[in-house]
Structure 1
Amino acid sequence: MGGKRDEPVNLEKRDTILNEIQYWRKSRLLPEQYCDFLTNLYDDENAVKDSNPISLQNLQQGSIKIWLFGFGIISLFFLISIYFSVFPWPLQIATALSVLIVCYGYAAIFRKRNRMISLMLTGIGSLLTLGFGLWLISLHHLDPDFWQPILIGTCGLLWCVLGFVLRIGILQYCGYAFWALLYAGFFGGMRPDASMLELELLWLPLCVLMVWLSWLLHYRVSGVAGVYFAVGATLWLLPELDALLLRHDYPQWIAFLLLAKIAAELALLFIFRKKWIAWVAT
């Protein structure tokens, strides 16, 4: 019982000592190596975290095994890049899937232990997903009009799912952005001469739907309200962006309409800031 009662006091003393050590380090009252020694002596929690060999401190003080491991990983990556085109296609697919599984798998492992490494691995895996897909389409001379939309839809679905599971909002947002790109491309092929009214009717219902889902789910499902709200805010501008970027014969006044909608959106966000910030931050 006595040990449990004294534990908060000991933690408070430890934090005070660590703050003093950091002050000594910044003020150069003690040499750097002494500050490192004292930090490692008192910060047991940091010692547990630094069992991760990728931390900067362990890279600085680590054994030759860590550096050889890093050399092996980098060499393997470049070997795959150089000889990927001469692999038979089943081995190409297996290699790509293995690399992606490793990236996303370790991103999930480090999600709570080291958020920065998790985000880096997720970003690398996402870029490689798109890169491997485009590379395979080019290597095998596949029809891009058929396979690129499939790749975009697959990446969008994968990023939406992983972004939700790993609670990485930017990845989930990119997934919805790819789905919006696929949606715009499909409708552009079906109706290349669509009027501005058709474009507004194409995008604005989706904008309302995403904002409504953001409000509906903010207290039921964590990690989606902010993403859905950001997607909805983006969809508000997509009719004009669709006309400007994907269509050639558009009226000159669309640019002014885009500026007016941006101003209106910012005004609405300012007026209702207390409401939407409350559910986005939940």
Structure 2
Amino acid sequence: MNSNEKEKQVIIQEINKWRESKLLPSEYCDFLLNLYSSGSNAPKKETKKDTKSNGKSSLPRILTIIGFVIVVAIGIYFFLNFTSFHPIMQMTILGIITLACYVVTSIYYKHSNPYIPLISHSIASVLLSVFVLRFLFLYGLDQDISSVHISFLFVFVVWLIMSIALRHPIIFSFGLIGLTVLYNQVVTQQVPSESIIEPQLYWVPVALITCWLGYALYQHKKQHQYSYILLFSSFLYFFMPEINLGWLSRSFSSIQESLALKIIILFILFFIGKSVLRSQVKQTEV
């Protein structure tokens, strides 16, 4: 045995040690062994282990695909036979699916693809409203205005809370729109249709509270989108009595004075707020 062959044997032994101690990946060791021994000393047992490990790594994927197919099949079955189930069974299915969608959203809300949690959150929100509607029809409460208002108040509040927790401003906007429509219905039932003074007592305080909440959320960097939505909503609430009266009376002349007064008030508040913000900025700089 010449010196070159001895050197090759030493190198091959070292490579085998690297393989056993896992200093290098098995693919690199195979390549080096083939390079120095022309394939004669390439370990066959290790390749079998690699194939076994590859088979094991593909097993979770296969199980995931099978599970997905089973879930889809069950979903299709329930969808096609949903109306034939007992009403309580229908509500149970809706509740489970809604809860599952919220769980999926909470798990994947930091996913690299933002559409996955948004879609599941949207489905959960819609199913929650369907669940409440089914509950009202099941127990004959759909004709009771108070029950309908309370039920959908619950739905929209859940939308708001979950949208803030899961960081979906779009769902937050829809929840706020729902609350606005609901509150507007309550106000129109309590206030005469041609009155312009009494609605101010309902809407102006709400506008101020919403504006304060928007300003408070603006102090947090991660809540700017919600603050913009609330500030815009407060502006809308401030003029909601005029919007309602103008829509009902179909006449702009009946709300001209109130609109002019509110616009003047807004300009005054704008300049006051601007000066206050400037003074705060100067104090922070000092």
TM-score, normalised with respect to structure 1: 0.59
* Aligned equivalent of 1:132: 131
CA separation of 1:258/1:121 partners in 2, compared to 1, >3 Å: closer, same or farther?
Answer: farther
* Aligned equivalent of 1:177: 177
CA separation of 1:266/1:204 partners in 2, compared to 1, >3 Å: closer, same or farther?
Answer: closer
Tell me which amino acid in the other structure corresponds to 1:126.
Answer: S
Q: Residue deviations 1:46-97, cap 9 Å, x none?
A: xxxxxxxxxxxxxxxxx77666555544443343334333333432332111
State the alpha-carbon separation in 2 of the partners of residues 91 and 254 from structure 1: 53
CA separation of 1:260/1:110 partners in 2, compared to 1, >3 Å: closer, same or farther?
Answer: farther
* Aligned equivalent of 2:147: 147
State the alpha-carbon separation in 1 of the partners of residues 254 and 80 from structure 2: 47
Report the CA distance between 1:204 and its aligned residue. 2.3
1:159 paired with 2:151, answer no
State the alpha-carbon separation in 2 of the partners of residues 77 and 262 from structure 1: 54
Please point out which of 97, 101, 104 is paired with 2:102: 104
Q: Residue deviations 1:230-271, cap 9 Å, x none?
A: 3323323422343356xx446443687899899999999x99
Report the CA distance between 1:104 and its aligned residue. 1.1
Report the CA distance between 1:102 and its aligned residue. 0.9
Please point out which of 235, 238, 243 is paired with 1:236: 238
Report the CA distance between 1:192 and its aligned residue. 3.9
Higher RCO, 1 or 2 (CA under 8 Å, sep at least 6)?
A: 1
State the alpha-carbon separation in 2 of the partners of residues 135 and 197 from structure 1: 39
* Aligned equivalent of 1:117: 116
State the alpha-carbon separation in 1 of the partners of residues 265 and 119 from structure 2: 32
1:156-235 equivalent positions in 2, closer than 5 A: 156-193=156-193, 195-220=195-220, 222-223=222-223, 224-235=226-237
Q: Alignment identity in percent?
A: 20
Query: Matched residue pairs, number?
Result: 212
* Aligned equivalent of 2:88: 90
TM-score, normalised with respect to structure 2: 0.59
Which consecutive residues of structure 2, in runs of 5 or more, have no partner in the other structure? Answer: 1-60, 278-286
State the alpha-carbon separation in 2 of the partners of residues 79 and 143 from structure 1: 29
* Aligned equivalent of 1:59: none
Kept after mapping to 1: 8 A contact 2:191/2:199: no
State the alpha-carbon separation in 1 of the partners of residues 265 and 124 from structure 2: 34
Structure exhibiting the larger radius of gyration computed from Cα positions: 2
Kept after mapping to 1: 8 A contact 2:246/2:252: no
Kept after mapping to 2: 8 A contact 1:173/1:231: no
Q: Secondary structure at the match of 1:225?
A: helix
